[in-house]
């Protein structure tokens, strides 16, 4: 990949590799722009979830390490410090202020829970259409804040009910993204690991609604940058569905 804004590190608790190891692998893989997007602390109940994440205490050192690695490899690559953030209405504004003040340059919207870290986990099996609707409402509200640079895996909800209903609801996200001028991600980790996303209905919607799409490696190991298989599959899908793919995206101020 030439550009990737979706990268984790060992600090999130479920990935491998330091900031520098990712930058080094990205350079080896021929990348020109690399953005880090660690799962960020949820501010409320930071230890209440089984999904670990970067804490605010770790944030300054994380930013420093990103800057140092970017400086070391500055002749080969441009490195950015972003964050993958949940949109929780109660605490989002406060968290965004903290992240901005600490030097975070952009935010990706990644909705893994609803309402709070204690809320419904979107990757658990969901049959209730009301939860699906609520998920879409929350992602849409997140986009409407104007704070997010793009939406990571918008179709990550594991809804096992009617596929027509899933498509109908995800269409609302696609339409709002278009109205907000936001790219939607084709998550290459999902393709790499053959997860339930990106799903067929999502590709159909991207084509039907004419969304702009962007690849996100969602790297959890540095060597992901040396393996082009998922990107090749992603490119074939982009071609198959005739999607409008962008490589870079301007950062939204938040
Ligand atoms: Zn995510
Ligand atoms: Zn991620």
Residue 112 CA, ligand 1 centroid: distance in Å: 7
Residue 162 CA, ligand 1 centroid: distance in Å: 24
pLDDT, residue 224, reads 96
pLDDT, residue 117, reads 83
pLDDT, residue 40, reads 86
213: enclosing H helix or E strand? strand 212-216
Residue 55 CA, ligand 2 centroid: distance in Å: 16
Q: What is the pLDDT averaged over residues 164-186?
A: 98
Residue 38 CA, ligand 1 centroid: distance in Å: 9
- The pLDDT confidence band at residue 223, using thresholds 50, 70 and 90, is very high
Domains and CATH numbers, the chain: 3-246 (3.20.20.140)
Residue 39 CA, ligand 1 centroid: distance in Å: 7
Closest ligand (CA of 219): 2
Residue 152 CA, ligand 1 centroid: distance in Å: 6
Q: Does 58 or 143 have the greater pLDDT score? A: 143
Residue 179 CA, ligand 2 centroid: distance in Å: 24
The answer on pLDDT for 124 being more than 60 is: yes
Task: Report angle CA 114, 231, 13 to the nearest 5 degrees.
Answer: 45
pLDDT, residue 52, reads 72
pLDDT tens digits, residue range 78-107? 999 999 999 999 999 999 999 999 999 999
pLDDT, residue 227, reads 92
Closest ligand (CA of 155): 1
pTM equals: 0.96
Residue with tokens 């330091």: 18
Residue 24 CA, ligand 1 centroid: distance in Å: 23
Residue 236 CA, ligand 1 centroid: distance in Å: 23
Residue 8 CA, ligand 1 centroid: distance in Å: 9
How far is residue 5 CA from its own chain's centroid? 8
pLDDT tens digits, residue range 71-82? 999 999 999 999
Q: What is the pLDDT averaged over residues 215-222?
A: 97
Residue 112 CA, ligand 2 centroid: distance in Å: 10
pLDDT tens digits, residue range 192-218? 999 999 999 999 999 999 999 999 999
Closest ligand (CA of 224): 2
- The pLDDT confidence band at residue 51, using thresholds 50, 70 and 90, is low
**Which residues, including other chains, have CB under 8 Å from residue 193's CB and lie 6 or more apart?**
none
Sheet holding 33-39, edge to edge: 3-4, 33-39, 78-85, 106-109, 150-151, 184-187, 212-216, 244-246
How much of the chain, in percent, has pLDDT values that exceed 70? 97
The rounded distance, in Å, linking the Cα atoms of 234 and 240 is: 10
Q: Which of 83, 85, 79, 53 is nearest to 66 (CA)?
A: 79
pLDDT, residue 38, reads 95
């Amino acid at each position: 990949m030439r550009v990737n804004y979706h990268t984790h590190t060992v600090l999130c608790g479920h990935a491998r590799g330091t900031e520098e190891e990712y930058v080094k692998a990205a350079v080896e893989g021929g990348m020109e722009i690399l953005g880090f997007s660690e799962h960020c602390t949820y501010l409320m109940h930071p230890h209440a979830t089984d999904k670990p994440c970067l804490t605010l205490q770790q944030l300054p050192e994380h930013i420093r390490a990103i800057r140092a690695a970017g400086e070391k490899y500055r002749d080969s690559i441009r490195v950015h410090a972003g964050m993958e953030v949940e949109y929780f209405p109660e605490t989002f504004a406060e968290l965004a202020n903290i992240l901005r003040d600490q030097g975070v340059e952009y935010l990706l919207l990644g909705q893994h829970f609803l309402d709070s870290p204690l809320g419904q986990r979107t990757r658990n099996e969901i049959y209730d259409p009301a939860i699906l609707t609520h998920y879409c409402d929350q992602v849409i509200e997140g986009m409407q804040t104007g704070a997010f640079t793009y939406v990571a895996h918008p179709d990550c909800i594991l809804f096992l009910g009617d596929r027509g209903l899933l498509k109908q609801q995800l269409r609302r996200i696609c339409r709002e993204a278009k109205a907000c001028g936001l790219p939607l991600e084709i998550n290459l980790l999902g393709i790499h690991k053959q997860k339930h996303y990106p799903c067929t209905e999502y590709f159909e919607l991207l084509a039907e609604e004419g969304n702009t799409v962007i690849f996100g490696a969602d790297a959890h190991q540095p060597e992901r940058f040396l393996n082009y298989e998922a990107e090749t599959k992603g490119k074939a899908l982009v071609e198959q569905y005739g999607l409008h793919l962008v490589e870079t995206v301007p950062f939204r101020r938040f």
